[in-house]
Amino acid sequence: MTAPHTLTLRRPDDWHLHLRDGEMLRAVLPASAARFGRAIVMPNLRPPVTGVAEALAYRERIVAALPSGSRFRPLMTCYATDAADPDEIERGWSDGVFAAVKLYPAHATTNSDHGVSDFSRIVPLLERMQSLGMPLLVHGEVTDPAVDMFDREAVFIERVLSPLLAALPRLRLVFEHVTTAQAVAFVRAHAAGGRVGATITAHHLLINRNAMFAGGLRPHAYCLPVAKRERHRKALVEAATSGEAAFFLGTDSAPHPVAAKESACGCAGIFTAPAGLELYAEVFEQAGALDRLEAFASLNGPRFYRLPPNDDTITLVRRPWTMPAEIAGVVPFRAGEEIAWTLTETPPLAETPPLAETP
């Protein structure tokens, strides 16, 4: 059977996205808004989004930055700190401002300094979320410097996630940007009843850890959690293309100005938004599973979040284009390389100059 040349899907959503703020927000938002109906917006701004008022103000800035006529809807999250107030978070949930709480272990990744230093401190919050049915979105890596960088996700499952789910048997949780076969197995073991879900990024489906060292040090292939061995990438592709309801699309598109990446201490983050759906189409095509892309991209996420799927569609055509070398001072994933699929309604982003200010 020959692969289809065009592919129409119910409009997908991005269940894990970094939009930043200010000029960077205005530069990166159109790419996501052209593809996705909604996105779970990460709260790791400086300072982080920890209260209802901050989330409302941030949501307004995002909506104000949307291209005219866009129907894109940002879904806001609350950044959990040791001092998180369960009443404030419940208020944001009941008022429809917070879709979820994001949990960064302190110092695990970019802008996570205010994250949770000790999970026992937020037990009252987690108990409240359990009773509300409010999802907890987890960056699943231990920060213990004695643990090898490539083992941090697997060790997090043993040390933190398993005990957490045992202590809070009804807490609903998304294991964000899973990168290992162990995480895939863990999610499957806890997926019954829509209790645990997982986002999978396009870059973790496309690269393994060799990409960071291909002919030299490659900062634009560095993100957290870092890409792992090939066998883990294969486990992720198998999970994403399985059609299983627990696995859904979350790009973790995370733009950083080029100087912040190409540095003696470069930031973690890969900017995939300019081909945020097309890259997944490539993975699903290679796996012979294009017929399952809609479940992963457009149906499983809304089901987990107890929201209706989008009511419109998006069409991709198998026509290659070249990703620009730089977009608004950010080097995108696959810069200067070919992307196999094109959106029919939206032309690919052109190369644009760097921003004047970087928030």
Could you say which of 85, 95, 144, 252 is catalytic? Answer: 252
The region of 78-86, 245-253, 289-297, 336-344 touching Zn ion under the rule CB under 5 A is 245-253
Which residues make Cβ contacts (< 8 Å) with residue 296, sequence separation at least 6?
200, 240, 241, 243, 247, 248, 249, 280, 284
CA–CA distance from 74 to each of 71, 120, 176, 214, 226 (Å)?
A: 10, 31, 18, 36, 26
Contact between 223 and ligand DOR by CB under 6 A: the answer reads yes
Pick between residue 154 and residue 289 the one whose CB is nearest to ligand DOR: 154
- The position carrying tokens 């107030």 is 85
Pick from 81, 109, 199, 298 the residue near ligand DOR by CB under 6 A. 109
Cα distances (angstroms) measured from residue 300 to each of 21, 137, 277, 304: 28, 16, 15, 6
Catalytic status, residue 252? yes
* Binding footprint of Zn ion, residue count (CB under 5 A): 1
Contact segment (CB under 5 A) with Zn ion among 151-159, 251-259, 297-305, 327-335 equals: 251-259
Give the Cα-Cα-Cα angle 8, 11, 14 (nearest 5 degrees): 130
Task: Based on the shown chain and the rule CB under 5 A, indicate whether residue 153 belongs to the binding site for Zn ion.
Answer: no
Q: What are phi and psi of 205, to 5 degrees?
A: -80, -20
Q: Does 252 bind Zn ion (CB under 5 A)?
A: yes
Say how many CA atoms lie within 13 Å of 74 toward its Cβ.
26
Q: Which of residues 83-122 bind Zn ion (CB under 5 A)?
A: none
CA dihedral 144, 146, 150, 154 (to 10 degrees): -60
Give the span between the Cα atoms of 249 and 235, in whole angstroms.
15
Residues 30-89 that bind ligand DOR (CB under 6 A): 44
Q: Which residues contact 279 (CB under 8 A, 6 or more apart)?
A: 202, 203, 205, 206, 272, 333, 334, 339
Size of residue set near ligand DOR by CB under 6 A: 11
Among residues 32, 77, 81, 110, which is the contact residue for ligand DOR, using CB under 6 A? Answer: 110
Q: Nearer Cβ to ligand DOR, position 26 or 177? A: 177
Do β-strands 173-175 and 136-138 pair in parallel, antiparallel, or remain unpaired?
parallel
Copy the structure tokens of residue 351.
């190369």
Q: Which is nearer to Zn ion, 186 or 271 (CB)?
A: 271
Piece of 46-54, 104-112, 150-158, 234-242 that binds ligand DOR (CB under 6 A): 104-112
Provide, rounded to whole angstroms, the least separation between the CB of residue 71 and ligand DOR: 26
- Judged by beta carbon, residue 219 or residue 348, the one nearer ligand DOR is 219
Cis check for the bond before 354: say yes or no (omega within 30 of 0).
Answer: no
User: Does 224 interact with ligand DOR (rule: CB under 6 A)?
Assistant: yes
Nearer to Zn ion among residue 141 and residue 282 (C-beta): 141
Interface residues with Zn ion (CB under 5 A)? 252
Annotated active-site positions, please? Answer: 252
Residues contributing to the site for ligand DOR (CB under 6 A): 18, 44, 109-111, 139, 223-224, 254, 268-269
